[in-house]
Amino acid sequence: MATPKVSIQEMIEQNRKKNKLQQFEKLVPIILFCIATVSVITTIGILFTLFKETLTFFERVSIVEFLTAKEWYPFSEEQASYGIFPLVTGTLKITVIATLVAVPIGIASAIFLSEYASEKTRRTIKPVLEVLAGIPTIVYGFFALTFVTPVLRELIPSLEIFNALSPGIVIGIMIIPMIASLSEDAMSSVPKAIREGALALGATKFEVTMKVVLPAAVSGIVASIVLAISRAIGETMIVSVAAGSTPNLSWDITSSLQTMTAYIVQVSTGDAGYGTTIYYSIYAVGMTLFIFTLAMNLLAQYIAKRFREEY
């Protein structure tokens, strides 16, 4: 069989294309490195700004007062007080309520999708469940204020219009998809052979789920819960709309409160001029919030690595 003849011109053209491809392949790692570097530089810039402005705040307000004072009244004309604990208490109240709502529903949803639902049902329900994660949080906020709060006031007459219970419940609804999706992925990764072995020994479907699958997927489940709690701590718009702006140390869930994120929104909308102590206080609050969320993320990573099962 005769070998097809290739002209010199065609050979030159092929080599030229090959050289261009090789040059492009050499550029790809450089382009990807530059993209990754942008994200790193951005993070460093954010942290630098946060630390710098927080130090400026502590030059004007004692860090001892910030950590020990029990009142947060930065707008007081007579004697301003900058004790962070009322804002931390408000944030924790919302987070605890959200966790109590989201964890049981999220894990139950994950168990159903992973162990009981058919493939067709799973393909239908899981995307619908994850739609909750795509709803703007401002919509959740007005839903809490205009629907959930009036319903709760029918059950709890002493409930104020702005309270901790309503936004806590709605934030819990918002983070359900995170817990359900990540927990379902963790349970689905457990090999079928383990389930089949337990069933062969006489275990029921429920016993296999509770005593085999859940313990095997515990690292992923706990990590999803911790990440969801971190998301709840940093939620802004829901608490800004439905929780109020009254910082207090009370654990009463029926009264108005203020979270760290809600305070940052309040000041950022123009309640304080640039360069004032109140302006710099949002960076101190932001630093506190950053420490909270960083600790939660590190805890999630530790749990995922510490209790991860290898199959």
Question: pLDDT grade, residue 16 (50/70/90)?
Answer: low
Contacts of 207 (CB under 8 A, 6+ apart): 198
pLDDT at 242: 86
The single-letter code of the amino acid at 290 is: F
What tens digit of pLDDT does each residue of 227-236 get? Answer: 888 888 888 8
Q: Which of 26-30, 84-88, 140-144 has the lowest mean pLDDT?
A: 26-30
Q: CA-to-CA distance for 164 and 169, rounded, in angstroms?
A: 9
* DSSP conformational letter for 217: T
Helix axes 218-233, 277-306, angle to 10 degrees: 170
Q: Where are the domains of the chain?
A: 20-60, 73-306
Spacing of C-alpha 56 from chain mean position: 29
What tens digit of pLDDT does each residue of 87-119 get? Answer: 888 899 999 999 999 999 999 988 888 888 888
Mean pLDDT of 167-187: 89
Mean pLDDT of 128-135: 79
pLDDT at 263: 87
Does 293 score more than 90 pLDDT?
no
Q: CA-to-CA distance for 47 and 128, rounded, in angstroms?
A: 37
- Read off the pTM: 0.82
User: Rounded mean pLDDT of the chain?
Assistant: 83
The answer to whether the beta carbons of residues 49 and 282 sit under 8 Å apart is no
- Indicate the burial class of 25 (C-beta count within 10 angstroms; 0-12, 13-18, 19 or more): exposed
Mean pLDDT of 248-258: 85
Does 169 score more than 90 pLDDT?
yes
* DSSP conformational letter for 5: P
pLDDT at 28: 78
What tens digit of pLDDT does each residue of 73-83 get? Answer: 887 767 778 88
Place of tokens 């939660």: 296
Question: pLDDT grade, residue 309 (50/70/90)?
Answer: low
CATH superfamily of 73-306: MetI-like (1.10.3720.10)
The answer to whether the beta carbons of residues 144 and 169 sit under 8 Å apart is yes
pLDDT at 94: 92
